[in-house]
């Protein structure tokens, strides 16, 4: 299973906002440039994130996007669900031509376990933790020693 482009780009955009939280609003063109994302598509994602209550926007020369609350209060699951809807790898109710009774279908149980495991990872990880992980990884790759 792969996360859609919507979720992957949205998570990257939110990461930029978290890492630049103390700098004030970040323009979408700057988010797009920092993450190499298509600017017009990013605007659509930012609108969905704003509707989801995760970001606020301000207009003007110093405008842009800011997180609506502290990144430690934003779960990655909230970001994905704002962009995609519920985190489910499979939902038996939307499978056409399934003749099995969901009550006695072993696959339904497997799907539910996988859904719960995936949801748990995204619910237990905050945007703040993601930003810390990124900072650590960025620092590892930027340390260069010359002799």
How high is the pLDDT of residue 94?
60
Per-residue pLDDT of the chain in tens (147 residues, 90 and over written 9): 678 999 999 999 999 999 999 889 999 999 999 999 999 999 999 999 999 999 999 988 888 999 999 999 999 999 999 999 888 877 666 666 666 666 677 777 888 898 899 999 999 999 999 999 999 888 876 555 556
How high is the pLDDT of residue 109?
81
In a domain, 147, yes or no: no
pTM reported for the whole predicted model: 0.84
CB-count exposure of residue 74 (10 Å: 0-12, 13-18, 19+) = buried
Domain containing residue 76: 5-142
How high is the pLDDT of residue 43?
95
Alpha-carbon gap, residue 67 to 21, rounded angstroms? 7
How high is the pLDDT of residue 7?
95
Contact 41, 67 (CB under 8 A): no
Phi, psi of 113 (to 5 degrees): -65, -45
Strand partners, 64: 58
Phi, psi of 59 (to 5 degrees): -95, 170
Alpha-carbon gap, residue 119 to 124, rounded angstroms? 8
Angle at 34 between CA 31 and CA 40, to 5 degrees: 45
**DSSP H or E run through 58:** strand 55-58
The token pair at 98 is 């399934």
In a domain, 96, yes or no: yes
CATH of the domain at 104: 1.10.10.10
Structural domain tally of the chain? 1
Residue appearing with tokens 């499978």 = 95
How high is the pLDDT of residue 87?
84
């Amino acid at each position: 299973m792969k996360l859609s482009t919507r979720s992957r780009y949205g998570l990257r955009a939110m990461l930029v906002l978290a890492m630049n939280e103390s700098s004030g609003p970040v323009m979408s063109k700057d988010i797009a440039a920092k993450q190499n994302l298509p600017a017009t598509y990013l605007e659509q994602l930012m609108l969905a994130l704003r509707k989801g209550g995760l970001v606020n926007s301000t207009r003007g020369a110093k405008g842009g996007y800011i997180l609506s609350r502290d990144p430690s209060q934003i779960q990655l699951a909230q970001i994905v669900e704002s962009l995609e809807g519920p985190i489910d790898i499979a939902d038996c109710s939307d499978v056409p031509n399934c003749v099995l009774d969901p009550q006695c279908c072993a696959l339904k149980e497997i799907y539910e376990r996988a859904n719960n495991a995936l949801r748990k990872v995204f619910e237990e990880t905050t945007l703040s933790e993601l930003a810390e992980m990124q900072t650590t990884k960025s620092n590892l790759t930027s340390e260069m020693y010359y002799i």
